[in-house]
């Protein structure tokens, strides 16, 4: 029953900021639905009080309406308001139904925990204060002759209510601040775990995860994506001649340049050392080869951190079926090795049939294919 109820409520990941609010809403609505259902049945068949049964039935309908609206819209904020107002109205209705019995104020003490957790500190304070005032007023004016409550006791109740609200306000402030701090720290840790410190690009681990997700997605979509493996030529010489700090500067600026030139339609990561990997999204193999060659040409005709450098690139397409992270990377690596072996400052392409050619030959083969 509980599992079914959960499955019909909006699903949030456990680390989503609304996960616990949604859980409280779901529990409250389950409780109020069951509560009103039982009361409706009892009032119809056991107590035979149809007027009360009608009110309970209304409560049941409201609970279910909020629940199904929540399920359809997934809007936690609006549902949180609806649930807070419903809980407050229930407390007030209960006080009226027991003719202002002073002990019924206990129901009003449930309002602040709901209100603060669901709609926040400021709004929670306002709703709690209004609901408490109405409850205190009702208890004072509706009390029956047999149970009397003096003005002193009323003030006492109001003082306790104010203290109750203030304590919950304080509690909610510390809870939400602690949650915020934790959530910021989590974001930072996540970013650190996914980012290469020197270049601020994705690191290898994050890249593998992204590539793996993309391969799975590609199996069910028409879009084609390509992978470029890119290596700075003779990078060791820069280190050996100018020192590691200059080498670092070249890596940083090169990464920045990649982001600037292709970052919008690509996922770029530092694979390690002076090697970078790039996924060109929604790009066919021929276009990927052209873009890789433009990049190569741009780098060789400019300087990076005042260093004249060249790059070699291996290009391959992500296949629609039976591909894997390892296979894609192996194909791109094979093409890159081919480029290095054939003199560097080159783009070579692995056409997925394990056939590797360098850029000019690849273009010629494509042309021949078209002309045939
Ligand atoms: N400055 C700096 N150097 C690095 C870093 N990571 C790796 N390296 C250096 O990158 C160099 C890579 O050298 P090799 O693998 O021989 O490659 P290469 O000299 O570029 O030659 P080819 O790739 O064959 O063209 C080594 O000297 C590493 O020490 C880094 O974070 N900063």
* Per-residue pLDDT tens digits for 319-356: 988 899 999 999 999 999 999 999 999 999 998 777 99
Of the pLDDT bands very low, low, confident and very high (cuts 50, 70, 90), residue 13 is confident
What pLDDT score does 283 carry? Answer: 95
Say yes or no: CB of residue 275 within 6 Å of ligand 1.
no
Q: What is the pLDDT of residues 82-119, one digit of tens each?
A: 999 998 988 888 888 777 777 777 888 888 888 999 99
What pLDDT score does 94 carry? Answer: 81
Say yes or no: CB of residue 254 within 6 Å of ligand 1.
no
Q: Whose CA is nearest to atom 7 of ligand 1?
A: 273
Say yes or no: CB of residue 272 within 6 Å of ligand 1.
no
Q: Nearest to residue 199, comparing CAs of 247, 277, 262, 270?
A: 270
Kindly list the domain boundaries of the chain, sorted by start residue: 2-192, 204-371
| Model ipTM over 0.95 | yes
274 is catalytic: yes
Measured CA to CA, the distance from residue 322 to residue 93 in angstroms comes to: 64
Say yes or no: CB of residue 345 within 6 Å of ligand 1.
no
Of the pLDDT bands very low, low, confident and very high (cuts 50, 70, 90), residue 146 is low
- Top CATH class of 204-371 equals alpha beta
Q: Exactly one of 188, 274, 294, 372 is catalytic; which is it?
A: 274
> What residue has token string 């009892």?
42
Phi/psi of residue 312, each to 5°?
A: -115, 145
Q: Which atom of ligand 1 is nearest to the CA of 231?
A: 23
What pLDDT score does 255 carry? Answer: 97
Q: What is the pLDDT of residues 147-191, one digit of tens each?
A: 566 677 767 777 887 888 888 888 888 988 998 999 899 999 999
What pLDDT score does 359 carry? Answer: 94
User: What is the CA angle 126-130-133, rounded to 5?
Assistant: 140
Q: Which of 239, 243, 244, 341 to mutate to test the pocket of ligand 1 (most atoms within 8 A of CB)?
A: 239
Q: Nearest to residue 248, comparing CAs of 274, 270, 275?
A: 274
Say yes or no: CB of residue 341 within 6 Å of ligand 1.
no
CB contact at 8 A, 278 and 226: no
Of the pLDDT bands very low, low, confident and very high (cuts 50, 70, 90), residue 223 is confident
Distance of CA 294 to the CA centre of its chain: 36
Q: Which atom of ligand 1 is nearest to the CA of 237?
A: 19
pTM of the model: 0.69
Mean pLDDT of the chain: 89
Measured CA to CA, the distance from residue 128 to residue 107 in angstroms comes to: 12
Sign of the C-alpha dihedral, residues 22, 27, 28, 32?
positive
Measured CA to CA, the distance from residue 16 to residue 18 in angstroms comes to: 5
Higher pLDDT, 180 or 6: 180
């Amino acid at each position: 029953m509980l599992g079914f109820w959960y499955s019909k409520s909006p699903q949030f990941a456990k680390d989503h900021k609304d996960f616990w609010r949604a859980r409280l809403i779901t529990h409250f609505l389950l409780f109020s639905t069951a509560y009103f259902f039982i009361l409706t049945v009892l009032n119809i068949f056991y107590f035979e009080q149809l007027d009360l049964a009608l009110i309970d039935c209304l409560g049941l309908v409201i609970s279910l309406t909020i629940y199904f609206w929540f399920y359809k819209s997934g809007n936690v904020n609006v549902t949180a308001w609806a649930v807070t107002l419903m809980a407050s109205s229930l407390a007030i209705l209960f006080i009226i139904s027991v003719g202002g019995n002073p002990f019924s104020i206990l129901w009003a003490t449930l309002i602040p925990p709901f209100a603060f957790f669901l709609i926040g500190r400021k709004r929670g304070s306002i709703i709690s204060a209004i609901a408490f005032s109405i409850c205190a007023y009702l208890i004072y004016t509706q009390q029956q002759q047999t149970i009397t409550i003096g003005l002193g006791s009323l003030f006492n109740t109001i003082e306790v209510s104010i203290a109750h609200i203030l304590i919950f306000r304080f509690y909610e402030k510390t809870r939400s601040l602690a949650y915020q701090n934790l959530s910021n720290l989590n974001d930072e840790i996540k970013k650190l775990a996914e980012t290469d410190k020197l270049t601020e690009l994705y690191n290898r681990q994050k890249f593998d995860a992204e590539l793996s997700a993309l391969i799975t997605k590609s199996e069910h979509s028409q879009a084609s994506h390509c992978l470029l493996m890119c290596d700075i030529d003779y990078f060791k010489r820069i280190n050996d001649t100018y020192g590691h700090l200059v080498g670092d500067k070249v890596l940083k600026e090169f990464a920045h340049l990649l982001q600037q030139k292709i970052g919008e339609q690509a996922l770029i990561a530092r694979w390690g050392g002076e090697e970078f990997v790039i996924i060109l999204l929604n790009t066919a193999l021929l276009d990927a080869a052209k873009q890789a060659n433009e990049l190569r040409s741009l780098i060789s005709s400019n300087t990076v951190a005042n260093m004249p450098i060249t790059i070699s690139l291996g290009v391959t397409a992500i296949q629609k079926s039976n591909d894997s992270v390892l296979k894609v990377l192996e194909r791109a690596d094979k093409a890159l090795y081919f480029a290095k072996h054939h003199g560097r400052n080159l783009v070579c392409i692995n056409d997925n049939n394990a056939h590797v050619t360098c850029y000019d030959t690849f273009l010629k083969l494509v042309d021949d294919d078209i002309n045939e």
